[in-house]
Structure 1
Amino acid sequence: MQLEIEYPGLPKMAVNLGTAYELIGNIKLAKNWIAEGMKRDPSIHLGSEWIHLNILTAKEKRATAKYFHEYLLLNVYYGTGYVPDAHWKNQRKLTTAEYDAIREQASLQINEQKNVVSRQDAVMVQLFYEFANLEMSQYQPN
Protein backbone atom coordinates (compact mmCIF):
# COMPACT_ATOMS: atom_id res chain seq x y z
CA MET A 1 0.00 0.00 0.00
CA GLN A 2 2.94 2.32 0.70
CA LEU A 3 4.03 2.08 -2.95
CA GLU A 4 0.56 3.14 -4.09
CA ILE A 5 0.89 6.20 -1.85
CA GLU A 6 4.38 7.01 -3.15
CA TYR A 7 3.59 6.27 -6.82
CA PRO A 8 -0.17 6.78 -7.25
CA GLY A 9 -2.02 5.92 -10.42
CA LEU A 10 0.15 3.08 -11.75
CA PRO A 11 -2.06 0.42 -13.40
CA LYS A 12 0.36 -2.42 -12.66
CA MET A 13 0.50 -1.41 -8.99
CA ALA A 14 -3.29 -1.63 -8.77
CA VAL A 15 -3.57 -5.10 -10.32
CA ASN A 16 -0.63 -6.35 -8.26
CA LEU A 17 -2.34 -5.07 -5.10
CA GLY A 18 -5.46 -6.91 -6.27
CA THR A 19 -3.48 -10.12 -6.61
CA ALA A 20 -1.90 -9.61 -3.19
CA TYR A 21 -5.34 -9.19 -1.62
CA GLU A 22 -6.54 -12.28 -3.47
CA LEU A 23 -3.66 -14.29 -2.03
CA ILE A 24 -4.55 -13.34 1.53
CA GLY A 25 -8.20 -14.13 0.90
CA ASN A 26 -9.68 -10.63 0.76
CA ILE A 27 -11.66 -11.06 -2.46
CA LYS A 28 -13.61 -7.81 -2.07
CA LEU A 29 -10.45 -5.67 -1.99
CA ALA A 30 -8.89 -7.85 -4.68
CA LYS A 31 -11.80 -7.11 -7.02
CA ASN A 32 -11.66 -3.39 -6.20
CA TRP A 33 -7.95 -3.15 -7.04
CA ILE A 34 -8.20 -5.27 -10.20
CA ALA A 35 -11.08 -3.06 -11.39
CA GLU A 36 -9.02 0.04 -10.54
CA GLY A 37 -6.09 -1.30 -12.58
CA MET A 38 -8.42 -1.92 -15.52
CA LYS A 39 -9.78 1.61 -15.18
CA ARG A 40 -6.26 3.02 -15.21
CA ASP A 41 -5.25 0.94 -18.24
CA PRO A 42 -7.86 -1.29 -19.96
CA SER A 43 -5.11 -3.03 -21.94
CA ILE A 44 -3.10 -4.13 -18.90
CA HIS A 45 -2.09 -7.80 -19.13
CA LEU A 46 -3.28 -7.87 -22.75
CA GLY A 47 -6.72 -6.72 -21.61
CA SER A 48 -7.19 -10.01 -19.71
CA GLU A 49 -8.08 -8.66 -16.28
CA TRP A 50 -11.80 -9.08 -17.04
CA ILE A 51 -11.09 -12.82 -16.75
CA HIS A 52 -9.37 -12.22 -13.42
CA LEU A 53 -12.48 -10.38 -12.22
CA ASN A 54 -14.64 -13.34 -13.32
CA ILE A 55 -12.31 -15.67 -11.40
CA LEU A 56 -12.59 -13.52 -8.28
CA THR A 57 -16.39 -13.34 -8.58
CA ALA A 58 -16.54 -17.15 -8.87
CA LYS A 59 -14.37 -17.46 -5.75
CA GLU A 60 -16.53 -14.94 -3.93
CA LYS A 61 -19.66 -16.95 -4.82
CA ARG A 62 -17.95 -20.23 -3.85
CA ALA A 63 -18.78 -21.42 -7.35
CA THR A 64 -20.04 -24.93 -7.98
CA ALA A 65 -20.72 -26.80 -11.21
CA LYS A 66 -24.23 -25.32 -11.19
CA TYR A 67 -22.76 -21.79 -11.02
CA PHE A 68 -20.44 -22.48 -13.97
CA HIS A 69 -23.33 -23.82 -16.02
CA GLU A 70 -24.68 -20.27 -16.11
CA TYR A 71 -21.63 -18.05 -15.51
CA LEU A 72 -18.61 -18.99 -17.59
CA LEU A 73 -15.21 -17.50 -16.82
CA LEU A 74 -14.44 -16.72 -20.47
CA ASN A 75 -18.01 -15.64 -21.33
CA VAL A 76 -18.02 -18.09 -24.24
CA TYR A 77 -20.57 -20.87 -24.71
CA TYR A 78 -19.74 -24.12 -26.50
CA GLY A 79 -23.00 -25.80 -27.42
CA THR A 80 -23.68 -29.47 -26.71
CA GLY A 81 -22.05 -31.22 -29.65
CA TYR A 82 -19.07 -33.58 -29.57
CA VAL A 83 -16.76 -30.82 -30.79
CA PRO A 84 -17.29 -27.52 -28.92
CA ASP A 85 -18.66 -24.67 -31.03
CA ALA A 86 -17.56 -21.36 -29.50
CA HIS A 87 -20.17 -18.60 -29.55
CA TRP A 88 -21.43 -15.71 -27.45
CA LYS A 89 -24.50 -16.16 -25.30
CA ASN A 90 -26.59 -14.50 -28.04
CA GLN A 91 -25.52 -17.40 -30.31
CA ARG A 92 -23.19 -15.29 -32.46
CA LYS A 93 -20.08 -17.23 -33.41
CA LEU A 94 -16.75 -15.73 -32.45
CA THR A 95 -14.75 -14.06 -35.16
CA THR A 96 -11.17 -15.20 -35.63
CA ALA A 97 -9.94 -11.98 -34.01
CA GLU A 98 -12.24 -12.47 -31.00
CA TYR A 99 -11.18 -16.09 -30.66
CA ASP A 100 -7.50 -15.15 -30.85
CA ALA A 101 -7.88 -12.36 -28.27
CA ILE A 102 -9.73 -14.55 -25.76
CA ARG A 103 -7.28 -17.40 -26.31
CA GLU A 104 -4.31 -15.11 -25.67
CA GLN A 105 -5.97 -13.49 -22.64
CA ALA A 106 -7.00 -16.85 -21.14
CA SER A 107 -3.52 -18.25 -21.68
CA LEU A 108 -2.01 -15.29 -19.85
CA GLN A 109 -4.43 -15.64 -16.93
CA ILE A 110 -3.77 -19.40 -16.71
CA ASN A 111 -0.04 -18.71 -16.54
CA GLU A 112 -0.59 -16.09 -13.84
CA GLN A 113 -3.05 -18.14 -11.79
CA LYS A 114 -1.27 -21.51 -11.94
CA ASN A 115 1.65 -20.12 -9.95
CA VAL A 116 -0.44 -18.98 -7.01
CA VAL A 117 -3.52 -21.26 -6.97
CA SER A 118 -3.81 -24.97 -6.26
CA ARG A 119 -4.49 -27.09 -9.33
CA GLN A 120 -7.30 -28.71 -7.34
CA ASP A 121 -9.00 -25.31 -7.03
CA ALA A 122 -12.46 -25.60 -8.66
CA VAL A 123 -12.17 -22.22 -10.35
CA MET A 124 -8.76 -23.11 -11.81
CA VAL A 125 -10.14 -26.43 -13.07
CA GLN A 126 -13.01 -24.54 -14.73
CA LEU A 127 -10.57 -22.14 -16.37
CA PHE A 128 -8.58 -25.05 -17.84
CA TYR A 129 -11.82 -26.71 -18.97
CA GLU A 130 -13.09 -23.59 -20.73
CA PHE A 131 -9.70 -22.99 -22.34
CA ALA A 132 -9.67 -26.58 -23.64
CA ASN A 133 -13.18 -26.09 -25.04
CA LEU A 134 -12.07 -22.87 -26.69
CA GLU A 135 -9.12 -24.70 -28.28
CA MET A 136 -11.31 -27.59 -29.42
CA SER A 137 -13.85 -25.21 -30.93
CA GLN A 138 -11.24 -24.33 -33.52
CA TYR A 139 -10.68 -27.98 -34.41
CA GLN A 140 -11.52 -28.70 -38.03
CA PRO A 141 -11.67 -32.43 -38.90
CA ASN A 142 -10.05 -33.44 -42.19
Structure 2
Amino acid sequence: MFAFEFSMKKSILTLIFCFLFSVPVFACLNGDTRLLTNGERLFEDFDSYVSYGHNFGGDERLKALMKSLEKGYNETKNIDYLSDQGYILIVQGKYQEAVDLYKRIESIAPGRYSTASNMGTAYELLGNNKEALFWIKKSVEISSKSHFYSEWIHINILKAKIKGEKYFTSQHLIQTDFGNDDLPKSILKTGDLERLRQQLYYQLNERVSFVMPEDKVVAQLLFDLGNICYLLGDKDDALENFEKAKEYGFDDPIVKKRMKLYSPPILDRTEKKVIKELKVQTKSVMRSELIKLIVSVLAFVFSGVLIYSFRKNIFPNFK
Protein backbone atom coordinates (compact mmCIF):
# COMPACT_ATOMS: atom_id res chain seq x y z
CA MET A 1 0.00 0.00 0.00
CA PHE A 2 2.81 2.35 0.93
CA ALA A 3 4.60 1.54 -2.33
CA PHE A 4 1.43 2.31 -4.31
CA GLU A 5 0.95 5.67 -2.57
CA PHE A 6 4.59 6.58 -3.11
CA SER A 7 4.33 5.62 -6.78
CA MET A 8 1.19 7.73 -7.18
CA LYS A 9 2.84 10.75 -5.57
CA LYS A 10 5.86 10.30 -7.79
CA SER A 11 3.70 10.08 -10.92
CA ILE A 12 1.76 13.23 -10.06
CA LEU A 13 4.90 15.23 -9.30
CA THR A 14 6.53 13.94 -12.48
CA LEU A 15 3.50 15.10 -14.49
CA ILE A 16 3.69 18.55 -12.94
CA PHE A 17 7.41 18.99 -13.53
CA CYS A 18 7.19 17.64 -17.08
CA PHE A 19 4.48 20.17 -17.87
CA LEU A 20 6.41 23.04 -16.35
CA PHE A 21 9.69 22.28 -18.06
CA SER A 22 8.10 21.58 -21.43
CA VAL A 23 6.96 25.21 -21.73
CA PRO A 24 9.82 26.30 -24.03
CA VAL A 25 8.78 23.61 -26.51
CA PHE A 26 5.21 24.91 -26.66
CA ALA A 27 6.41 28.49 -27.01
CA CYS A 28 8.43 27.96 -30.18
CA LEU A 29 7.17 29.93 -33.19
CA ASN A 30 9.34 28.40 -35.92
CA GLY A 31 8.36 31.15 -38.33
CA ASP A 32 10.47 33.45 -40.48
CA THR A 33 12.84 35.80 -38.67
CA ARG A 34 15.17 38.60 -39.69
CA LEU A 35 18.37 39.24 -37.79
CA LEU A 36 20.07 42.59 -38.25
CA THR A 37 23.82 43.06 -38.50
CA ASN A 38 23.93 44.33 -34.91
CA GLY A 39 22.52 41.01 -33.70
CA GLU A 40 19.04 42.35 -33.00
CA ARG A 41 15.98 40.50 -34.25
CA LEU A 42 13.82 42.81 -36.34
CA PHE A 43 10.80 40.52 -36.53
CA GLU A 44 9.61 37.00 -35.89
CA ASP A 45 6.61 35.42 -37.59
CA PHE A 46 4.23 32.63 -36.69
CA ASP A 47 4.67 29.31 -38.43
CA SER A 48 1.59 29.22 -40.64
CA TYR A 49 0.46 30.01 -44.16
CA VAL A 50 -1.72 32.97 -43.21
CA SER A 51 -0.21 36.29 -44.25
CA TYR A 52 -0.43 38.65 -41.29
CA GLY A 53 2.78 40.50 -42.13
CA HIS A 54 5.75 41.15 -39.89
CA ASN A 55 5.61 42.63 -36.41
CA PHE A 56 8.38 45.23 -36.34
CA GLY A 57 7.56 46.73 -32.95
CA GLY A 58 6.83 50.36 -32.18
CA ASP A 59 8.42 53.60 -33.40
CA GLU A 60 10.71 53.91 -30.40
CA ARG A 61 12.14 50.47 -31.00
CA LEU A 62 12.79 51.27 -34.65
CA LYS A 63 14.52 54.52 -33.71
CA ALA A 64 16.72 52.67 -31.23
CA LEU A 65 17.63 50.11 -33.88
CA MET A 66 18.56 52.88 -36.31
CA LYS A 67 20.89 54.46 -33.74
CA SER A 68 22.50 51.11 -33.02
CA LEU A 69 23.02 50.40 -36.73
CA GLU A 70 24.43 53.87 -37.34
CA LYS A 71 26.88 53.38 -34.49
CA GLY A 72 27.85 49.99 -35.87
CA TYR A 73 28.58 51.42 -39.30
CA ASN A 74 30.61 54.31 -37.92
CA GLU A 75 32.72 51.90 -35.90
CA THR A 76 33.21 49.17 -38.52
CA LYS A 77 32.37 50.67 -41.93
CA ASN A 78 30.57 47.38 -42.62
CA ILE A 79 28.14 48.12 -45.45
CA ASP A 80 25.60 45.64 -44.03
CA TYR A 81 24.83 48.14 -41.27
CA LEU A 82 23.89 50.73 -43.90
CA SER A 83 21.75 48.22 -45.78
CA ASP A 84 19.84 47.36 -42.61
CA GLN A 85 19.26 51.07 -42.00
CA GLY A 86 17.72 51.29 -45.45
CA TYR A 87 15.33 48.46 -44.67
CA ILE A 88 14.23 50.13 -41.44
CA LEU A 89 13.66 53.38 -43.35
CA ILE A 90 11.25 51.42 -45.54
CA VAL A 91 9.54 50.02 -42.45
CA GLN A 92 9.20 53.58 -41.13
CA GLY A 93 7.59 54.69 -44.38
CA LYS A 94 10.56 56.87 -45.37
CA TYR A 95 10.74 55.45 -48.88
CA GLN A 96 12.63 58.27 -50.61
CA GLU A 97 15.24 58.32 -47.85
CA ALA A 98 15.63 54.58 -48.33
CA VAL A 99 16.11 55.00 -52.09
CA ASP A 100 18.72 57.70 -51.53
CA LEU A 101 20.59 55.52 -49.04
CA TYR A 102 20.55 52.49 -51.34
CA LYS A 103 21.86 54.63 -54.21
CA ARG A 104 24.72 55.58 -51.92
CA ILE A 105 25.32 51.92 -51.09
CA GLU A 106 25.25 51.02 -54.79
CA SER A 107 27.93 53.62 -55.47
CA ILE A 108 30.11 52.22 -52.67
CA ALA A 109 29.51 48.51 -53.26
CA PRO A 110 27.73 47.87 -56.58
CA GLY A 111 25.91 44.66 -57.37
CA ARG A 112 24.60 43.74 -53.92
CA TYR A 113 21.39 41.69 -53.90
CA SER A 114 19.95 43.48 -50.86
CA THR A 115 20.46 46.85 -52.54
CA ALA A 116 18.60 45.86 -55.71
CA SER A 117 15.81 44.04 -53.87
CA ASN A 118 15.14 46.74 -51.28
CA MET A 119 15.49 49.52 -53.85
CA GLY A 120 12.79 47.79 -55.89
CA THR A 121 10.52 47.58 -52.86
CA ALA A 122 11.07 51.24 -51.97
CA TYR A 123 10.37 52.40 -55.52
CA GLU A 124 7.18 50.34 -55.66
CA LEU A 125 5.96 51.84 -52.39
CA LEU A 126 6.69 55.27 -53.89
CA GLY A 127 4.44 54.33 -56.82
CA ASN A 128 7.25 54.13 -59.37
CA ASN A 129 6.52 50.64 -60.68
CA LYS A 130 8.76 50.86 -63.75
CA GLU A 131 11.82 51.70 -61.69
CA ALA A 132 10.79 49.06 -59.16
CA LEU A 133 10.60 46.45 -61.93
CA PHE A 134 14.09 47.37 -63.12
CA TRP A 135 15.60 46.81 -59.68
CA ILE A 136 13.66 43.64 -58.86
CA LYS A 137 14.75 42.13 -62.18
CA LYS A 138 18.30 43.11 -61.32
CA SER A 139 18.00 41.43 -57.91
CA VAL A 140 16.90 38.19 -59.60
CA GLU A 141 19.90 38.39 -61.93
CA ILE A 142 22.14 38.66 -58.87
CA SER A 143 20.43 35.86 -56.91
CA SER A 144 17.45 33.97 -58.30
CA LYS A 145 17.42 31.63 -55.28
CA SER A 146 16.59 34.31 -52.74
CA HIS A 147 13.16 34.48 -51.11
CA PHE A 148 12.47 30.82 -51.93
CA TYR A 149 12.79 31.54 -55.67
CA SER A 150 9.64 33.68 -55.33
CA GLU A 151 10.66 36.96 -56.95
CA TRP A 152 9.07 35.90 -60.24
CA ILE A 153 5.77 36.64 -58.50
CA HIS A 154 7.01 40.12 -57.56
CA ILE A 155 8.00 40.71 -61.18
CA ASN A 156 4.55 39.61 -62.38
CA ILE A 157 2.89 41.91 -59.84
CA LEU A 158 4.86 44.90 -61.09
CA LYS A 159 4.15 44.05 -64.74
CA ALA A 160 0.44 43.80 -63.96
CA LYS A 161 0.45 47.12 -62.08
CA ILE A 162 2.14 48.81 -65.04
CA LYS A 163 -0.37 47.34 -67.53
CA GLY A 164 -3.50 47.99 -65.49
CA GLU A 165 -6.18 46.37 -63.32
CA LYS A 166 -7.44 43.93 -65.94
CA TYR A 167 -4.15 42.09 -65.41
CA PHE A 168 -4.80 41.59 -61.69
CA THR A 169 -5.76 37.97 -62.26
CA SER A 170 -4.45 34.64 -61.03
CA GLN A 171 -3.12 33.74 -64.47
CA HIS A 172 -1.15 36.95 -64.84
CA LEU A 173 0.10 37.05 -61.26
CA ILE A 174 0.94 33.41 -60.49
CA GLN A 175 0.48 31.78 -63.91
CA THR A 176 -2.30 29.43 -62.80
CA ASP A 177 -5.83 29.58 -61.39
CA PHE A 178 -8.25 27.49 -59.36
CA GLY A 179 -11.42 27.51 -61.43
CA ASN A 180 -14.80 29.14 -60.93
CA ASP A 181 -16.67 26.21 -59.38
CA ASP A 182 -17.67 26.10 -55.73
CA LEU A 183 -14.72 23.80 -55.04
CA PRO A 184 -11.24 25.01 -56.03
CA LYS A 185 -9.38 22.84 -58.50
CA SER A 186 -5.90 22.87 -59.99
CA ILE A 187 -3.87 21.17 -62.70
CA LEU A 188 -0.77 21.41 -60.50
CA LYS A 189 0.62 18.40 -58.67
CA THR A 190 0.91 18.38 -54.89
CA GLY A 191 4.63 19.18 -54.89
CA ASP A 192 4.11 22.11 -57.24
CA LEU A 193 1.25 23.41 -55.08
CA GLU A 194 3.41 23.19 -51.97
CA ARG A 195 6.22 25.16 -53.62
CA LEU A 196 3.79 27.75 -54.93
CA ARG A 197 2.21 28.08 -51.48
CA GLN A 198 5.59 28.76 -49.88
CA GLN A 199 6.54 31.30 -52.54
CA LEU A 200 3.18 33.05 -52.53
CA TYR A 201 3.05 33.15 -48.74
CA TYR A 202 6.50 34.73 -48.61
CA GLN A 203 5.60 37.41 -51.14
CA LEU A 204 2.29 38.16 -49.43
CA ASN A 205 3.72 38.26 -45.94
CA GLU A 206 6.24 40.86 -47.10
CA ARG A 207 3.59 42.81 -48.99
CA VAL A 208 0.94 43.02 -46.27
CA SER A 209 3.64 44.33 -43.91
CA PHE A 210 3.59 47.55 -45.95
CA VAL A 211 0.36 47.58 -47.98
CA MET A 212 -2.83 48.24 -46.04
CA PRO A 213 -6.39 47.33 -47.16
CA GLU A 214 -7.85 47.74 -49.63
CA ASP A 215 -5.55 46.55 -52.40
CA LYS A 216 -6.75 44.54 -55.38
CA VAL A 217 -3.47 42.75 -56.05
CA VAL A 218 -3.11 41.62 -52.44
CA ALA A 219 -6.79 40.65 -52.34
CA GLN A 220 -6.42 38.43 -55.41
CA LEU A 221 -3.26 36.78 -54.13
CA LEU A 222 -4.76 36.11 -50.70
CA PHE A 223 -7.68 34.42 -52.41
CA ASP A 224 -5.23 32.33 -54.43
CA LEU A 225 -3.29 31.40 -51.30
CA GLY A 226 -6.54 30.34 -49.65
CA ASN A 227 -7.33 28.07 -52.59
CA ILE A 228 -3.90 26.45 -52.42
CA CYS A 229 -4.23 25.86 -48.68
CA TYR A 230 -7.64 24.28 -49.21
CA LEU A 231 -6.36 21.96 -51.94
CA LEU A 232 -3.50 20.89 -49.67
CA GLY A 233 -5.94 20.07 -46.87
CA ASP A 234 -5.08 23.03 -44.65
CA LYS A 235 -8.63 24.29 -44.35
CA ASP A 236 -8.13 26.49 -41.29
CA ASP A 237 -5.46 28.56 -43.05
CA ALA A 238 -7.59 28.55 -46.21
CA LEU A 239 -10.51 30.07 -44.34
CA GLU A 240 -8.35 32.76 -42.74
CA ASN A 241 -6.80 33.69 -46.09
CA PHE A 242 -10.27 33.95 -47.65
CA GLU A 243 -11.29 36.25 -44.80
CA LYS A 244 -8.22 38.41 -45.34
CA ALA A 245 -8.90 38.47 -49.09
CA LYS A 246 -12.30 40.00 -48.32
CA GLU A 247 -10.65 42.46 -45.94
CA TYR A 248 -8.38 43.58 -48.77
CA GLY A 249 -11.32 44.06 -51.11
CA PHE A 250 -11.86 40.74 -52.90
CA ASP A 251 -15.55 40.96 -53.81
CA ASP A 252 -16.09 38.06 -56.21
CA PRO A 253 -19.06 35.98 -54.89
CA ILE A 254 -16.97 32.82 -55.26
CA VAL A 255 -15.08 33.67 -52.07
CA LYS A 256 -18.26 33.38 -49.98
CA LYS A 257 -19.01 29.98 -51.50
CA ARG A 258 -15.54 28.70 -50.75
CA MET A 259 -15.62 30.07 -47.22
CA LYS A 260 -18.71 27.92 -46.61
CA LEU A 261 -16.85 24.77 -47.62
CA TYR A 262 -15.35 24.50 -44.16
CA SER A 263 -16.69 25.45 -40.76
CA PRO A 264 -14.34 24.69 -37.85
CA PRO A 265 -15.79 23.38 -34.57
CA ILE A 266 -16.83 26.06 -32.08
CA LEU A 267 -13.89 25.38 -29.76
CA ASP A 268 -11.41 25.47 -32.63
CA ARG A 269 -12.98 28.66 -33.92
CA THR A 270 -12.67 30.31 -30.50
CA GLU A 271 -9.05 29.22 -30.22
CA LYS A 272 -8.35 30.58 -33.70
CA LYS A 273 -9.84 33.95 -32.75
CA VAL A 274 -7.62 34.16 -29.67
CA ILE A 275 -4.52 33.28 -31.69
CA LYS A 276 -5.51 35.73 -34.42
CA GLU A 277 -5.85 38.56 -31.91
CA LEU A 278 -2.50 37.60 -30.41
CA LYS A 279 -0.88 37.79 -33.84
CA VAL A 280 -2.41 41.13 -34.71
CA GLN A 281 -2.33 42.97 -31.38
CA THR A 282 1.22 42.26 -30.17
CA LYS A 283 2.97 45.45 -31.20
CA SER A 284 6.11 46.39 -29.30
CA VAL A 285 6.77 43.04 -27.62
CA MET A 286 8.26 40.17 -29.61
CA ARG A 287 5.52 37.60 -30.04
CA SER A 288 7.66 34.68 -28.95
CA GLU A 289 8.39 36.39 -25.63
CA LEU A 290 4.73 37.19 -25.08
CA ILE A 291 3.66 33.64 -25.86
CA LYS A 292 6.31 32.25 -23.51
CA LEU A 293 4.92 34.47 -20.75
CA ILE A 294 1.32 33.41 -21.41
CA VAL A 295 2.16 29.71 -21.60
CA SER A 296 4.29 29.97 -18.45
CA VAL A 297 1.39 31.53 -16.54
CA LEU A 298 -1.00 28.86 -17.80
CA ALA A 299 1.48 26.15 -16.85
CA PHE A 300 1.81 27.59 -13.36
CA VAL A 301 -1.97 27.77 -12.92
CA PHE A 302 -2.45 24.24 -14.24
CA SER A 303 0.22 22.91 -11.91
CA GLY A 304 -1.44 24.65 -8.99
CA VAL A 305 -4.75 23.02 -9.87
CA LEU A 306 -3.07 19.61 -10.07
CA ILE A 307 -1.38 20.04 -6.71
CA TYR A 308 -4.60 21.23 -5.08
CA SER A 309 -6.63 18.39 -6.59
CA PHE A 310 -4.23 15.73 -5.35
CA ARG A 311 -3.08 17.53 -2.20
CA LYS A 312 -4.18 14.73 0.13
CA ASN A 313 -2.26 12.13 -1.86
CA ILE A 314 0.86 14.25 -2.14
CA PHE A 315 0.75 15.76 1.35
CA PRO A 316 -1.17 13.40 3.69
CA ASN A 317 -1.04 15.87 6.58
CA PHE A 318 -2.43 18.73 4.49
CA LYS A 319 -5.91 19.78 5.64
Moved more, 96-105 or 73-82: 73-82
1:119 maps onto 2:213 in alignment: yes
The residue number in structure 2 matching 1:14 is 116
Secondary structure at the aligned position of 1:55 is classed as helix
Q: CA deviation at 1:82?
A: 2.0
1:80 maps onto 2:174 in alignment: no
Identity of aligned residues (%): 35
Q: 1:27 aligns with which of 112, 115, 129?
A: 129
| Structure 2 CA distance for aligned equivalents of residues 45 and 110 of structure 1 | 12
CA offset digits 1:23-68 (Å, max 9, x no partner):
111100100100110111111111111111111122222314xx34
Partner AA of 1:34 in structure 2: I
| Structure 2 CA distance for aligned equivalents of residues 75 and 104 of structure 1 | 15
| Structure 2 CA distance for aligned equivalents of residues 121 and 77 of structure 1 | 19
Moved more, 6-15 or 105-114: 6-15
Instruction: Please say which structure displays the higher CA radius of gyration.
Output: 2
Secondary structure at the aligned position of 1:84 is classed as coil
The residue number in structure 2 matching 1:134 is 228
Contact 1:78 1:137 in 2 (8 A): no
Mark the runs of 5 or more structure 2 residues left unpaired by the alignment: 1-102, 235-260, 262-319
How high is the TM-score relative to the length of structure 1?
A: 0.84
How high is the TM-score relative to the length of structure 2?
A: 0.39
Count of residue pairs brought into register by the alignment: 133
1:34-49 map, 5 Å: 34-49=136-151
**Residues 69, 123 of structure 1: CA spacing in aligned structure 2 closer, same or farther, 3 A cutoff?**
closer
1:63 maps onto 2:63 in alignment: no
Higher helix fraction: Structure 1 or Structure 2?
Answer: 2
Q: CA deviation at 1:103?
A: 0.4
Q: CA deviation at 1:81?
A: 2.7
Contact 2:168 2:216 in 1 (8 A): no
Moved more, 41-50 or 3-12: 3-12
Q: CA deviation at 1:17?
A: 0.6
| Structure 2 CA distance for aligned equivalents of residues 80 and 24 of structure 1 | 35
Moved more, 16-25 or 52-61: 52-61
Mark the runs of 5 or more structure 1 residues left unpaired by the alignment: 88-93
Q: 1:96 aligns with which of 171, 187, 190?
A: 190
RMSD: 2.0
Q: CA deviation at 1:70?
A: 7.1
Q: CA deviation at 1:78?
A: 1.2
| Structure 2 CA distance for aligned equivalents of residues 104 and 12 of structure 1 | 21
